[in-house]
Structure 1
Amino acid sequence: MAKGERKRAVRGRAGRMKGGRGSGKATSGHVRLWGRHPVEAALMNPARQHRKLWATREGIAALDGELPPDFPVEFADVTDLARLVAKDAPHQGLVLECEPLEDVFLDNVANGDPARPIILLDQVTDPHNVGAILRSAAAFGAAAIVTQDRHAPPEGGVLAKSASGALETVPWVRVVNLARALGELAEAGYWRIGLAGEAEATLAEALSAGPLAIVLGAEGEGMRYNIAQHCDALARLPITSAIESLNVSNAAAIALYAVSTRGGG
């Protein structure tokens, strides 16, 4: 089927695409975030349910805005906070325990603004990379990121710190089957482009004017064969032979920039 020929799916069709933050949570079922930007963004997110904030007085003073008078805060020193987070994590005097975000379903974002791309990650498991991709997604106005539930990092402090607040603003859809999700996006009118270093076409050549889904695979292995088969086109970033490949988060940022400037002068 040629670019632009698909019709977008009708809103409100029966059923929901499977997905959500159903796995990878801490044993307690809670999420612990640290650092000024992640904690501040979580505190400002009305969809986030908070349980407790551990903080130094300097950390509280650095927050943008005031906490409600009844907000549960326990003041602690820097060494005490270090025991609550990952080893050597830069907590900046703030550690927040909260509930995981509610599930996000693919049809909630697939029927949204067609100008905003959707990023799909095939077995990208490093929380630093997924966090950085969330940050780029926020910067360039992506509609969502989509990952396979069993092959993606959990929502947590390391990822949130790398996302620098974007975990609270960019919808994150976790699906059972990524190939099936790509099929659903095709039905919704998305042109699906998989980034692959061996592709003949460049990303600029593969871009279309309609809704776009950009697929990125894990570093080293790249996209799985079955996932590549569910793409409408494969494309590469036009990097020189001086380097073999880019970090997946860097590739995502460049792809999102290319999408944001398509059709520009």
Structure 2
Amino acid sequence: MAKPEYYYGVHSVESLLELEPERVLTLFTLKGKDDQRLKHVLAMAEPFGISVQQASRDRLEKMAGLPYHQGVVAAVRPHPVLNEKDLDQLLTQKPESLLLALDQVTDPHNLGACIRTAAAMGVEAVIVPRDRSASLTPTARKVAAGGAEKVQFIQVTNLARTLAHVKEEFHYRVLGTMLDEQALPLQKCDFTGGVVVVMGAEDTGLRPITQSQCDQTVYIPMSGNLQSLNVSVATGMALYEACRQRITQE
């Protein structure tokens, strides 16, 4: 049996119990903790016969990897890692989807925040390179606050090659966020139809090989002397505009 994954935090565990309770092997709760939020988690778990164990604070911190577990950790049967074939299947089943690609975003907090926003804005999948990128660690899942269970997380060997494939085989447009001479203000770019929004790391931006696959570059107009935003904040702004346009089109 594969080694279990650990989900921690009330929102993350609640979302898991709501969407995929069959994956939960055991719930670990903080010994002596008995608040309403924890009672609600236990009530959600009860119909599925999920084992519940009380644990010390030290044990919960060891499983979660951080002290911010809110008194609950779930040992979970891991999902298989999704890859390029899964992306093809998704786009065959759901043409003209909104996708988010993250180019070398290595901070799990930023990844989790991006996934949370993606879930709220109707993104079908978040695509990241397998190497030099954050993965769905317990921290990323906690920050995503349930979003990781609502959006497909796909790791690919080569992001630029995947973008080229999506363009050629499924006729998607790739929109990269960066400030260059050809970039359009966010609100003037067309985000309808099959679209991949590509965000780069805030320190290095999009790599040249990723830029080469962008059909259009876009930027977020800002006042003052600011030139960049945290990647999760910029992702939220870009996806909100995409969602707004797509809802208006319906």
The answer to whether the superposition gives a TM-score over 0.5 is yes
101-110 or 234-243, which moves further after superposition? 101-110
Following the alignment from structure 1 to structure 2, what is the Cα–Cα distance between the partners of residues 73 and 61? 12
- Report the residue type matching 1:97 in the other structure: A
Percent sequence identity over aligned pairs: 29
Q: Which residue of 1 aligns with 2:230?
A: 247
Tell me if 1:191 matches 2:173: yes
What's the CA shift string for 1:161-204, capped at 9, x where partnerless? 11000111111111111011101210201111000033532122
State the alpha-carbon separation in 2 of the partners of residues 250 and 237 from structure 1: 11
User: Does 2:151 correspond to 1:170?
Assistant: yes
Going from structure 1 to structure 2, the CA distance change for 1:48 and 1:71 (only over 3 Å counts) comes to closer
Contact preservation (8 Å) 2:121, 2:239:
yes
**TM-score between both structures, scaled by the size of structure 2:** 0.86
Q: Are the aligned partners of 1:122 and 1:215 in contact in 2 as well (CA < 8 Å)?
A: yes
Aligned to 1:54: 28
* Deviates most, 107-116 or 192-201: 107-116
What displacement does 1:39 show?
1.1
**Aligned partner (choices 188, 196, 200) of residue 213 of structure 1:** 196
Amino acid at match of 1:196: M
Aligned to 2:72: 94
Q: Shift of residue 108 of structure 1?
A: 2.6
CA distance in 2 between counterparts of 1:208 and 1:164 reads 26
Distance (whole Å) between structure 2 residues aligned to residue 215 and residue 176 of structure 1: 16
Note the alpha carbon deviations across 1:42-88, whole angstroms, 9 max, x for none: 22333862222111352640316242463221112445423432233
Q: Is the 8 A contact 1:42 1:48 kept in 2?
A: no
CA contact (8 A) 2:103 2:198 kept: yes
Counting helix residues as a fraction of each chain, which structure ranks higher?
2
- TM-score using structure 1 length: 0.81
Q: Assess, with a 3 A threshold, how the Cα gap between structure 1 residues 185 and 85 changes in structure 2: closer, same or farther.
A: same
Larger mean Cα displacement after TM superposition, 112-121 or 240-249: 112-121
* Structure 2: gaps spanning 5 or more residues: none
Report the count of equivalent residues.
Answer: 237
Q: Is this contact kept in 1: 2:96–2:194, CA < 8 A? A: yes
Indicate if the aligned counterparts of 1:131 and 1:159 stay in contact, CA closer than 8 A.
yes
Distance 2:208 2:78 in 1: 32
CA distance in 2, matches of 1:246, 1:177: 26
Matched, 1:67 2:49: no
1:125 equivalent among 86, 103, 106: 106
Q: Structure 1 or 2: larger strand share?
A: 2
Decide which of 29, 50, 71 is 2:3's aligned counterpart.
Answer: 29
| Residues 1:31 and 1:137: Cα distance change in structure 2 (over 3 Å) | same
AA partner of residue 232 (structure 2): S
Indicate the larger mover: 145-154 or 128-137.
Answer: 145-154
The 1:261/1:185 distance shift into structure 2, 3 A limit, reads same
By how many angstroms is 1:262 displaced? 1.8
State the Cα RMSD in Å: 2.2
1:137 deviates by 0.6
Do structure 1's residue 256 and structure 2's residue 234 form an aligned pair? no
Q: Which runs of 5+ in 1 are unaligned?
A: 1-27
Indicate the SS of the match to 2:44. coil
Counterparts of 2:77 and 2:44 in 1: how far apart (Å)?
A: 21
Q: Does 1:85 align with 2:68?
A: no
SS of structure 2 residue aligned to 1:81: helix
Indicate the structure whose relative CO is greater, using CA pairs within 8 Å and at least 6 residues apart.
1
CA distance in 1, matches of 2:63, 2:225: 43
CA–CA distance in structure 1, aligned partners of residues 230 and 123 of structure 2: 19
